[in-house]
Amino acid sequence: TDYNDLYCLFTLVQFTKAGQFFSSGHTNNWAVLVCTSRFWFNYRHVANTLSVYRSVKRLGIPDSHIVLMLADDMACNYRNPKPATVFSHKNMELNVYGDDVEVDYRGYEVTVENFLRVLTGRLPPSTPRSKRLLSDDRSNILIYLTGHGGNGFLKFQDSEEISNMELADAFEQMWQKRRYNELLFIIDTCQGASMYERFYSPNLMALASSQVGEDSLSHQPDLAIGVHLMDKYTFYLLEFLEEVHPASQANMNDLFKVCPQSQCVSTPGHRTDLFQRDPGSVLITDFFGSVRKVEITKDTINLTSPVEPPIQRSGSGDIQIESLTYVDQLPVAEIIHQKPKQKDWHPPDGFILGLWTLILLVFFQTYGIKHLKHIF
């Protein structure tokens, strides 16, 4: 009976685990990671985005499901003393720019218009797949924005800005077009909480690095490179994510605790009122990783063979062997109408006649008939 009880308890636990395992409704994961500022002194924004990219990729989201938008190229910037690297920790401990980084929108392509078009899917038909967010209604999307922002806006490329209302409307468009199942929005800018104030679509969860009226601060400068390498919030977010692995059960409540005010100086904020599940039941890997639902079974399964056995020939009499020919499978001549061979254009005969008659007339008028006898 002890064993029975244990067995029942075991199955019960398994059942809840299994129930929990299937409680999220998503089947695929997407990530849109955007760095909105250019120039060398905004190195840290690129490093922020690349560290989230690295975590997301490590946890299983493939490049085909990541839209990475970097407004400037730090790795190959002329001022980078260590070319082809972007470091996130000082003393160059961690290079987040490996040799497999795939940037989808680079440089001047990172604009408000392109960002909104990626989100809503309204891209011209010539856009390649790598630049599209091909999510469906079973996709969990992680959106990470970093750069310079203010109360209600985020600055793109030092020349334009996106407002929180535009962002909220874009997410509403995505909801109406069923482009996401659940969406996690993380923003690391000054006064970042203002960007998620206006959201009104369901299944959105948002995190920001600072409240309205506060600035998000950068973490450490590296004296060899000469600029600040990361922002505080993303630095601690990266440290947190380094502990996460695809099977980890860490949930969103742990994410909300990342970078408290003692470490970050600014107060991180979050918004969960639009989200239908309890944040405690939402796994980190639901958004940051691409954990596939795999069902393991120990039973054998018979696959029915689609190939039919050959028909037995009956009789042993003389079998007429027909000469084998290829069937004309595609009667080309009937399908494609032959285009008539193009005839070159020729000037009409009347024209040629008229023109040369006139030329001859003028010639003889000028030079007189007496020259004719020299010709003939």
Partner 1 sequence: MAAPLTLLLIVAVTIRAVLFRSSLAELISERVEVVSPLNAWKRVVEGLALLDLGVSPYSGDVFHETPLMIYLFHFTVDYAEIVFMVSPYFVDCLSCFLASLDRFRKQKYALESDRYPADCLELLRSPKEMFYIPLKVAMFYLLNPFTILSCVAKSTCGLNNAIIALFIFCTLKGSALLSGILLALATYQSIYPLTLFAPALLFFLQRLYIPVNLRRSSFWCFTLQYAFIYVGSLVVITGLSFFLLGSWDFIPSVYGFIFSVPDLTPNIGLFWYFFAEMFEHFRLFFICVFQINVFFYTIPLSIKLKEHPVFLIFMQIAIISIFKSYPTVGDVALYMAFLPAWSHLYRFLRNIFLVSCVLLACSALFPVLWHLWIYAGSANSNFYYAITLLFNFGQILLVSDYFYAYLRREHHLTHGLYLKKKDGTEATLVLK
Residues at the contact surface with partner 1, assessed by CB under 8 A: 342, 344-348, 350-351, 354-355, 358, 362, 365-366
Q: Which residues contact 39 (CB under 8 A, 6 or more apart)?
A: 72, 158
User: Which candidate, 119, 319, 94, places its Cα nearest to that of 199?
Assistant: 119
Query: Encoding tokens for residue 269?
Result: 């904020």
Which residues are within 8 A (CB) of 202 and not within 5 positions of it... i.e. 6 or more apart?
175, 274, 275, 276
> CB of residue 358 vs partner 1: minimum separation in angstroms?
7
Closer to partner 1 by CB, 315 or 348: give it. Answer: 348
Pairing label, strands 28-35, 139-146: parallel
Residue 125 or 350: which CB sits closer to partner 1?
Answer: 350
Partners of 30 in beta bridges = 141
Q: Is 259 a catalytic residue?
A: no
Q: Where are the alpha helices (DSSP H) in the chain?
A: 2-21, 43-58, 112-120, 164-176, 232-242, 252-256, 261-264, 285-288, 332-335, 349-367, 372-375
Least Cβ distance, residue 370 to partner 1 (angstroms): 16
Query: What are 66's two structure tokens?
Result: 């990541």
What minimum distance in Å lies between the beta carbon of 346 and partner 1?
Answer: 8
Q: Give, as one character, the DSSP assignment of residue 340.
A: P
Q: Which one is catalytic: 35, 45, 190, 264?
A: 190
What is the distance between the alpha carbons of residues 232 and 215, in angstroms, rounded to a whole number? 11
Nearer to partner 1, 159 or 176 (CB): 159
- Our CB check for partner 1 shows the closer of 129 and 343 to be 343
CB of 367 to partner 1, least distance (A): 10
Quick check: is 148 catalytic? yes
Active site residues: 148, 190
